Structure 1
Amino acid sequence: MARRGKKPKGRPISGWVIFDKPVGMGSTEAVAKIKWLYFAQKAGHAGTLDPLASGMLPIALGDATKTVPFVMDGRKTYRFAVTWGAETTTDDTEGPVTNTSDLRPTRAEVEARLPAYIGEISQVPPAFSAIKIDGERAYDLARAGEAVEIAARTVTVHKLDIVSMDETTTVFEADCGKGTYVRSIARDLGRDLGCFGHVTELRRIRVGAFDEDDLITLDDLMDAAEDGLEELDQEAIDSGARPRVVRFQALDEFVLDAATALSDLYEVALSDDQAGRVLSGNPVLLRGRDAPAFCEEAYATGHGRLVALGSIDQGAFHPKRVFGGRG
């Protein structure tokens, strides 16, 4: 007799929490915290954010983890400060200084070099990065004292503007594609200017379809969690038990529908009957003058939520990944 699979622990909640990660917290730690607060069966994030960086870390709960690749492939916006006069091993404040200069650039000098960093550019990622080299993370090899050589790669920077500038520091805002390192921009720009530079502040303010208005702070989440904590009896308190969230209404108000991450894709709105067919893995014929005959990537909604990811071929939506969790 076949054994039944073990029932997943937690709630089958699905959606996105757009977490405003504070400085000092790692991405893995942030996901674990959100998963615990929501008592979610599973969780994952869309793009690592360094502990020294703050800002947007989109965290997917439940079935929304199936949409993570679409968010990771989206454009990202960073606001970052570059302090001139020193270069470090990590291209930020964490590593020791390797080069120094008494030169400081003028605004005109910085602006004159920015066009070289916009568009498709060749960039060598920082030695202290999550890129894998022969199966090992570059930052693990670098911290172990090994020489790290990372090949240059082509990335896309859509926009790079100066936000503010004083004698020692320039604040930039960059709108860029997947795989771009603003620490590398700071390092290379400092070398081009002959003054060296490194990132001293970094904040991510946009990822894919999500913007600053979607951000939720840890304080917001903890306040909402307080409203839903279980009440422990004296025996439990004396034993050192930690109260768990058991009422999730306040927390769930911060969860965005999984479909929010897919705004760049074509949406197929299904009737209840069509949604039932798609949830069973069956294709459905699309009706309407504006319905496309072919579409490589699309998503279907019905029953008030995301139903499936799929494609459109010969006027029919074919599901590839079906969403069964609750939103």
Structure 2
Amino acid sequence: MTETRPQRQRVVRRALHGVLLLDKPLGLSSNDALQKAKWLLRAEKAGHTGTLDPLATGLLPLCFGAATKFSQVSLDADKAYVATLKLGQTTTTGDAEGEVLETREVAVTRELIAAACAKFTGAISQVPPMYSALKHEGKALYDYARQGITIEREARAVTIHGIDIVDWHADALTIAVRCSKGTYIRTLAEDIGRELGCGAHLSALRRTASGAVDVRDAISLDALAAMTEAEREALLRPPDCLLADWPSISLADEDASRFLNGLRRRVAAADAPHVRVYGPAAHALLGSASIAAGELIPGRLLSPQEVSSLLST
């Protein structure tokens, strides 16, 4: 007698447009977190806005549908983190995942820590770590590192807007960091440890903000899974939440229609590298643009279907 296996029910995907602020858990990759949220929402199109390592937690904005057109805005935005450094110990990876390279005595004061943090505040150069997703000849650097191969890396300019000491006792230092995109916090941890003369590695990391959005408004995967589908969908923020720091401009019907077709429009507004553009119908988002010499120059545009879908939500 042949056993009949029950057929797995096929998930019917749907077009959703918006941003979900997820609080990524420890031990899960950013892509795994995205796929779980995408499955829970039955979304057709989704993407995240910057990778968090599995050992990091915190804010991971997820973009769905039309919002994916503005994911680069979040990638380019300033970030904020709370990082815990283990002083007196360096590792092969610069974080708690690696093997211990050296253990040294920790003899520091709060004044020395403050001075070390101040040295790495402002415009600085960082050499990307070997254990990173940065590509070399199409392959991630961490793939080379796992084979014992070191690739020459050029220093990159980043900006550390501020470092505040949150807590310090014995060999555990917790700092709050506000920085530009592309900053490697594990490299910053190693640099601070080197400046203190005892070495350090990153033992914990939590992203608390990205541009205009904050982890305090984020939801965990467990909480998301416990909701009804309608409750999950209600959590989606409009795509322009990623553009909240930009000035806005509104267009009348005729100009809005032509702008959506990629045509430049004359506007009475100051030059700006980035603006969010709205149409007359219920302040509907049309897309992004720049303004130069009185001309509104289209950037990333929504389709008429996406505009209509956002208006009906």
Q: Distance in 1 between matches of 2:251 and 2:232?
A: 29
* Alignment equivalent of 2:190, drawn from 182, 187, 194: 187
Of stretches 88-97 and 36-45 in structure 1, the one that deviates more from structure 2 is: 36-45
**1:259 has 2:240 as partner:** yes
Q: Distance in 2 between matches of 1:280 and 1:103?
A: 63
Q: Is the 8 A contact 2:260 2:286 kept in 1?
A: yes
Q: Distance in 2 between matches of 1:116 and 1:319?
A: 41
Q: Distance in 2 between matches of 1:271 and 1:207?
A: 32
User: For residue 307 of structure 1, what is the aligned residue in structure 2?
Assistant: 286
User: For residue 275 of structure 1, what is the aligned residue in structure 2?
Assistant: 256
Q: Distance in 1 between matches of 2:259 and 2:217?
A: 30
Question: What's the secondary structure of 2:153's corresponding residue?
Answer: coil
Q: Distance in 2 between matches of 1:306 and 1:197?
A: 46
**1:207 has 2:210 as partner:** yes
- Counterpart code for 1:320: G
Of stretches 48-57 and 35-44 in structure 1, the one that deviates more from structure 2 is: 35-44
* Alignment equivalent of 1:323, drawn from 295, 302, 305: 302
Alpha carbons of structure 1 residues 315 and 10: separation in structure 2 relative to 1, 3 Å: farther
User: For residue 139 of structure 2, what is the aligned residue in structure 1?
Assistant: 136
User: For residue 292 of structure 1, what is the aligned residue in structure 2?
Assistant: 269
Q: Deviations over 1:242-296 (max 9, x none)?
A: xxxxxxx21111111111111232211234554334334344444xxxx415333
Task: Tell me by how many angstroms 1:171 deviates.
Answer: 0.4
User: For residue 237 of structure 1, what is the aligned residue in structure 2?
Assistant: none
| Gap runs ≥5 in structure 2 | 1-11
Task: Tell me by how many angstroms 1:176 deviates.
Answer: 0.2
Q: Is the 8 A contact 1:84 1:104 kept in 2?
A: no
Residue pairs, 1:108-187, within 5 angstroms: 108-187=111-190
Q: Deviations over 1:115-140 (max 9, x none)?
A: 21000111122210111122221111
Alpha carbons of structure 1 residues 93 and 282: separation in structure 2 relative to 1, 3 Å: same
Q: Alpha carbon RMSD of aligned pairs, Å?
A: 1.8
Q: Distance in 2 between matches of 1:45 and 1:259?
A: 15
Question: What's the secondary structure of 2:291's corresponding residue?
Answer: strand
Question: What's the secondary structure of 1:292's corresponding residue?
Answer: coil
Task: Tell me by how many angstroms 1:214 deviates.
Answer: 2.2
Q: Is the 8 A contact 2:70 2:300 kept in 1?
A: no
Identity %: 39
Question: What's the secondary structure of 2:226's corresponding residue?
Answer: helix
Task: Tell me by how many angstroms 1:18 deviates.
Answer: 1.0
Q: Is the 8 A contact 2:106 2:171 kept in 1?
A: no
Of stretches 61-70 and 312-321 in structure 1, the one that deviates more from structure 2 is: 312-321
Q: Is the 8 A contact 1:17 1:255 kept in 2?
A: yes
- Counterpart code for 1:323: L
Query: TM-score under structure 1 normalisation?
Result: 0.84
Question: What's the secondary structure of 1:108's corresponding residue?
Answer: helix
Query: TM-score under structure 2 normalisation?
Result: 0.88
